[in-house]
Amino acid sequence: MPRSLAGILFTCPGRPPGTAAAAPGPPLACAARVTPPDLDDVRSRARAAFLGLALGDALGATVEFMTPGEIRAAHGVHRELVGGGWLHLRAGRVTDDTEMSLCVARAIDAAGGWDLRGIADRFVAWMRGGPVDVGSTVRKGIRRYMLDGTLAGPPNEGDAGNGAAMRMVPVALATLADAALLERCALEQARLTHHHPLSDAASAHVGELLHLAILGRGKPRLRRASDALVARAPKLAFEPYRGLATGYVVDTLQTVLHAFFTTRGFEACVVDAVNRGGDADTTGAIAGAIAGAYYGEEQLPRRWLRRLDRAVRQELEALSDRLVALSPLGRGD
Ligand code: MG
Ligand code: MG
């Protein structure tokens, strides 16, 4: 076992590694026992999170800004990567949700660690490149950075969109399994463009769920984390589901959490989220990331992966492995 994992393990003195917990003997001194993460499984779930983000983005973009009734009339249940939508995308094309996440991932990879200014610079280059879609709050934040070089805007009532929460996959991968580091990096990357307590809370929570799922925790554990979030921020309560799936981060997170906790399986979760319409590429992207991490690579529909933009797919897979390697877990800190 790499020395690196020592910090997250609760080892029981006197018991050799691999000894069955049920073996008879004297009571153990330790109260908690956490199974060490299998790094191959972690890498696989991390890839599934990043690919799941792109698949949900590409699926949802077709029905972005439609109502559930309009989606039913046009598609029945929308469940194929067919492109189109208001952006007239080719099938398998991703949008800003995946592209900005790639900017974050590339910056971390290039620097060999957290590099907030590097992320901001890549956002600038991305926006100058004429992306297919840019959210208004994102545009405002990137313009501010271009003008004054500041890495956070002032707190703003109008910044409660979902544009920061949608970029959390690379942050979660690069901070495995350090919860405090995740929280710091989540808020830093979020406030490049969105400075609002609800965006902060949602971004940090998406990261928290990704960490738990990538480390192989069960759904009850993830649910406890979401319930604790709702206790801290009652506005984010997702049951009963209000049926709103807009770009307001409260609506987005409610849609994602409701989809994740009321379905079984990756495809069912993502299909549920995007068929709510509204900001469907972003609800699909975040739901796809969490569900990908939770259900794993084997559950990513092959027919969707075949359609996903090939260059994007290859880069997501490569960057995912490299970010995990750079993380505290991967480095063995
Ligand atoms: Mg988008
Ligand atoms: Mg969107």
CA of 281 to the centre of ligand 2 (A): 5
pLDDT tens readout for residues 222-280: 999 999 999 999 999 999 999 999 999 999 999 999 999 999 999 999 999 999 999 99
User: Structure tokens of 155?
Assistant: 């707190």
Confidence at residue 37, expressed as pLDDT on a 0 to 100 scale: 85
pLDDT tens readout for residues 50-108: 999 999 999 999 999 999 999 999 999 999 999 999 999 999 999 999 999 999 999 99
- 3 state DSSP class of 161: strand
Q: How far apart are CA 6 and CA 104, in angstroms?
A: 28
In this prediction, residue 33 has a pLDDT band, given cuts at 50, 70 and 90, of low
Q: How far apart are CA 120 and CA 79, in angstroms?
A: 34
Mean pLDDT of 279-305: 98
Could you say which ligand is closest to the alpha carbon of residue 274?
A: 2
Mean pLDDT of 282-291: 99
CA of 21 to the centre of ligand 1 (A): 47
CA of 50 to the centre of ligand 1 (A): 15
Of the candidates 273, 226, 286, the one whose C-alpha atom is nearest the C-alpha of residue 245 is 273
pLDDT tens readout for residues 164-214: 999 999 999 999 999 999 999 999 999 999 999 999 999 999 999 999 999
Residue 20 confidence (pLDDT) above 70: no
Question: Which tops the pLDDT comparison, 179 or 31?
Answer: 179
Q: How far apart are CA 32 and CA 333, in angstroms?
A: 21
Could you say which ligand is closest to the alpha carbon of residue 246?
A: 2
Confidence at residue 34, expressed as pLDDT on a 0 to 100 scale: 60
CA of 39 to the centre of ligand 1 (A): 31
Q: How far apart are CA 38 and CA 35, in angstroms?
A: 9
Residues in the chain, total: 333
Question: What does the DSSP 8-state code read for residue 183?
Answer: H
For ion ligand 1, residues whose CB falls within 5 Å: 95-97, 281
Residue 3 confidence (pLDDT) above 70: no
